[in-house]
A and B are shown apart, each in its own frame.
Chain A
Amino acid sequence: MDVWLAALIFVATYVVIATERVHKTVAALGGGVLMIVFQILDQDEAFAAIDFNVIFLLLGMMVIANIMRKTGVFQWVAIRAVQLAGGQPWRILVVLCLITAIASAFLDNVTTVVLIGPITLYVAAAMRVSPVPYLIAEILASNIGGTATLIGDPPNILIGSAAGYDFGTFTLNMAPASILVFAGFLILARFMFGPELARQRDGLVIADLDPSGVITDFRMMRISAVVMLATIIGFVIAGPLGYEPATVALLGASAILLLARGDPAEILAEVEWTTLLFFVGLFIVVEGVIRVGIIEAFANELFSATRGDVTLTSLALLWVSGLASGIVDNIPYTATLIPVVQQLGARGVELDPLWWSLALGADLGGNSTIIGASANVIIVSLAARSGHEIRFGAFLRYGIATVVLSLAIASLYVWVRYLL
């Protein structure tokens, strides 16, 4: 009985999340509470299932990014970079994509959009061209860049915490793949956007833009830049020293809150609490289906189907995750697949290739549709707010092409590095 009940709650929660009939946070929390109400889990078990390393890592980074983005430092970087690109449309697109990818590796997507969005719209307006090709390219670059580090994309945080990978290990394994995919994407982008950019005139003059004009608070800019840098260094050295990434993020958040001298209530009010509670609900829902044995049964079936072959399992995981992430939210998808991978590991399948395949598939797959990842939704929303529509179908052809190429490069990477 418990099995069917848990399965029903799980499926209902995920259907509601996918259909967006109810806010996803409400759906996840509701599903989690039902797991307790129907005694699939008791409250202690449910709360123990919450991965506080994930929650506090996200919280800490949100606090740092929220303070940092108000200083104008991101806009300063974007303006300087575009000025260095000169007035050539293709070079501007490459520079914008590069900044987006790098920012996405370390920052949440809202912050990245605030960094890159205004300058993109300004450049397009100055050239009197549509910003849409630039914005689409930035979406694609954002999801590729986000694969590079532990903090680049929420699935990475989930996987890193579950697998026990520290920041350095994660980066050493994922960043090379991210760079290769980004290089491939730029070549593809030349074909996808090149003809349209070729019609745009060169010689855009944005030299008149004064980058320092966007800095609103020089003191906080310096402080937040130092705290951000120290936090990233902290992530790198935390693993060998035995600290969890969440400790580093909270240390950075505490330091910046202390130095900001602002009202903490005001700063903390801007934390995306809905995202954090979404994770809380998901952890409980997934624990419910683990507890009744559904995940174990699914892992058994998967193990039988692949006969425990690590190559077959890894590549299947990568492609299935990549294709699924374009349709379903990659956060609940990853949260569900993590215990499946752990079960496969318990049956003797080598874990490393499976973790990296899951991370690459879940991250890169988000590029296929405009609802595939939060970066897509946010940039499409920004475009709409500024009077430019990015249609589902129009994005799809760029997205699918990029995802197929990305997954092909990622497959080659996983195969050469872990399976040969």
Chain B
Amino acid sequence: MTGHLRISKRTRVGEVHGRLDIEPVVVGVDEDLISAARRPMAQPGTRLLAVVDAEGRLVGVLPVLRLVEEIVARVSPEELMAEVTDLESAGRFGREVGAHVCRDLMGPPVHLTRDSTVADAFRAMHEHQYSGLPVVDDQMQVVGYVDLLELALRYLDQLPASSAPEALPS
């Protein structure tokens, strides 16, 4: 990455996301889950896929972990079945084994905009229990991705501000 940026909680996401290393991974809403599962292989840092419709608008998000569980359910359903001990886990298992395309597994299109602040990003990811979120423009087109761990580490790295320059490691 190039350039230096001091991140505060009021910093706008639009100023940050382009300077983070992890890029968004976009999948189609009706894309087969096996095909979708291959995409994050090329972007190992991504932990949340942005699901878009035919016009490229964000319509959902899909945590890579859920995708992994679904793939495991096809290969070795016994492992997931063994974890079913209550109604909730039985329902989750049913959803995983019954899913075929991204639409079946995705969650609501939680997102950030360029005008969201870093504080908004932390709050949204904590609230929805996601470890990353896509950044969208006014037309809901995906323009970036903010990874929680990467953002948090960048934020922490600059905390000893009195002894360190105000630059972020790039």
Residues in chain A within 8 A of chain B (CB atoms): 69-70, 72, 75, 79, 110, 113-114, 117-119, 121-122, 124-126, 128, 131, 209-216, 378, 381-388
Contacts and interface: CB of A to CB of B under 8 A. Distances in A.
Contacts of B90: 113-114, 117-118, 121, 382, 385-386
Given A209-B78, A210-B78, A213-B79, A382 B91 contact: yes
Contacts of A124: 98
A382 B93 CA distance: 10
Interface of B: 76-79, 81-88, 90-95, 97-100, 104
B96 to A, nearest CB: 9
A118 B87 CA distance: 10
Contacts of B94: 117-118, 121, 125, 131, 382-383, 385-388
Nearest to A74: B84
30 contacts: A75-B81, A79-B78, A79-B81, A114-B86, A117-B84, A118-B90, A121-B90, A121-B94, A122-B77, A122-B81, A122-B93, A124-B98, A125-B97, A125-B98, A126-B97, A128-B100, A131-B94, A209-B78, A215-B82, A381-B91, A382-B94, A383-B94, A385-B87, A385-B95, A386-B90, A386-B91, A386-B94, A386-B95, A386-B98, A387-B95
A209 B91 contact: no
B81 A387 contact: no
B91 A385 contact: yes
Contacts of A210: 78
B87 A114 contact: yes
A121 B98 contact: yes
Q: Which of B92, B93, B99 has the most CB of A within 10 A?
A: B93
A224 to B, nearest CB: 13
Contact of B87 (A70, A72, A110): A110
A209 B85 contact: no
Given A125-B97, A131-B98, A387-B98, A118 B85 contact: no
Nearest to B86: A114
A385 B93 CA distance: 9
A68 to B, nearest CB: 11
Given A118-B93, A386-B94, A387-B95, A381 B87 contact: yes
Nearest to A126: B97
Given A128-B100, A213-B78, A387-B95, 13 more contacts: A79-B78, A113-B90, A114-B86, A117-B84, A121-B90, A122-B77, A126-B97, A213-B76, A213-B79, A213-B82, A382-B91, A386-B93, A387-B98
